[in-house]
Amino acid sequence: MAASAQPSAPPALSAEQAKAVLAEVIKAFGAPENAQRMEEARDNACNDMGKMLQFLLPVATQIQQDVIKAYGFSSDGEGVLKFARLIKSYESQDPEIASMSGKLKAMFLPPMTLPPHGAGTGGVAAS
């Protein structure tokens, strides 16, 4: 099966174009109405990973869809995944894209390494 037979191939964006779209997506998360939607979803999730996926991810996905559809990505979850794969492919080549991508992920993924209440030494044995 030829690659051109796939009807929904992701748009070909250069690293510079991908960076511009990524900057726009990050800016969209900062828009007051989107920031409020994310805050409400975060409150509903209460730092619970399962609830994060249930409440936060759909809002984050929708915010991204609203931006990337203007650049030829489909306005569904698949479009967001293709955009994410494209960004990932540029991360190793462009430190600025890697940094922006990290910023974007931090907006809707909870920090995995920190204890939920910033307890610091909670339960960690000192060696």
Spans of all domains in the chain: 15-108
Q: Work out the mean pLDDT of the chain and round it to a whole number.
A: 83
φ, ψ for residue 47, nearest 5 deg: 60, 15
| Per-residue pLDDT tens over the stretch 68-107 | 999 999 988 899 999 999 999 999 999 999 999 999 988 8
- In the DSSP assignment, the letter for residue 66 is H
Whole-structure pTM value: 0.76
pLDDT digits (tens, 9 = 90+) for 19-76: 999 999 999 999 999 999 999 999 998 888 888 889 999 999 999 999 999 999 998 8
Please say whether the beta carbons of 28 and 62 come within 8 A. no
* Cα distance between residue 126 and residue 75, in whole Å: 49
Q: Which residue has the higher pLDDT, 116 or 46?
A: 46
